[in-house]
Amino acid sequence: MAETPSAFFSAVVVTILAVLGGCSAPSEAARAFFVFGDSLVDNGNNNYLATTARADAPPYGIDSPSHRPSGRFSNGRNIPDIISEQLGAETTLPYLSPELRGEKLLVGANFASAGIGILNDTGIQFRLYELGARRVIVTGTGPLGCVPAELALRSRNGQCDSELQRAAGLFNPQLVQILTALNRKIGSDVFVSANAFGMHMNYVANPQAFGFATSKIACCGQGPYNGIGLCTAASNLCPDRDTYAFWDAFHPTERACRIVVNHMMTGSSEYMNPMNLSTILSMDAAV
């Protein structure tokens, strides 16, 4: 079952919560990476759950190294995979995977699950500091009104839905304020806000500048903008995923995810506040 627009809205409010470091001083040996969120960052947990929100059938994973579906709602890698790649680390395994044992646990784990809502894990996220997390990246909402699913349901001329865009515009600044206040209370820049709206909106508003042919039509799907339902073997499928910003009705392609991670790694304070991931890694390496 595809996520409904309202479920998608609540699910992406905190898309990814990445935790770097442990209870001791951060170091290359001690760093671990934990992921919390929804289908945008799920790397296969729903394969082990009794749910219809699954990405375990072709053509999901068509551009992955194995060219097979893995449970990622993507044509290939997703944002956590690419962050791990940038860290020079192995990709974290789903927490439900039977392979997550022994030394694999030292890399971290992915707790994301497609279809999850923010109310299920609010509070747990901010208690992570007490459990030893020392670097936490929290993303705001992306351009909710611009995904193909919303264009299919709400748009008559291909323009993003203004109501959902306004909702994101109200939420995101308040998230930054909350995280800033938490850092002041702790006395350290533990929580980092990632401006997912700006990161995604760059290529959504000007796809050609990023080498995309379109940011409105999903590569895989059906109906207007290929925005009805999720991707199946019976869906329309574009031949070149690199020219599409969206893979299916809700999720970006691997290439779009790489643009987002580039912002996370080296973006200015407009995108990563108070610092980007490269700065975090340099600071931690100096400790």
Please pick, among 39, 97, 113, 235, the residue that the annotation labels catalytic.
Answer: 39
Q: Is the peptide bond before 274 cis (omega within 30 degrees of 0)?
A: yes
**Cα separation, 149 vs 146, whole angstroms:** 8
* Tokens of residue 142, six digits: 């992306």
Strands 33-35 and 108-110: parallel
The DSSP call for residue 191 is: E
Q: Is 67 a catalytic residue?
A: no
Q: Is 248 a catalytic residue?
A: yes
Q: Are residues 107 and 43 in contact, defined by beta-carbon separation less than 8 angstroms?
A: no
Count how many residues are written for the chain.
287
Give the list of residues 6+ apart from residue 282 with CB closer than 8 angstroms, or none. Answer: none
Please pick, among 38, 161, 248, 284, the residue that the annotation labels catalytic.
Answer: 248
Query: In b/e form, how buried is each residue of 124-149, taking b as 16+ CB within 10 angstroms?
Result: ebbebbeeebbbbbbbbbbbbbbbbb
The DSSP call for residue 139 is: E
**Cα separation, 283 vs 287, whole angstroms:** 7
Residues annotated as catalytic are 39, 248, 251
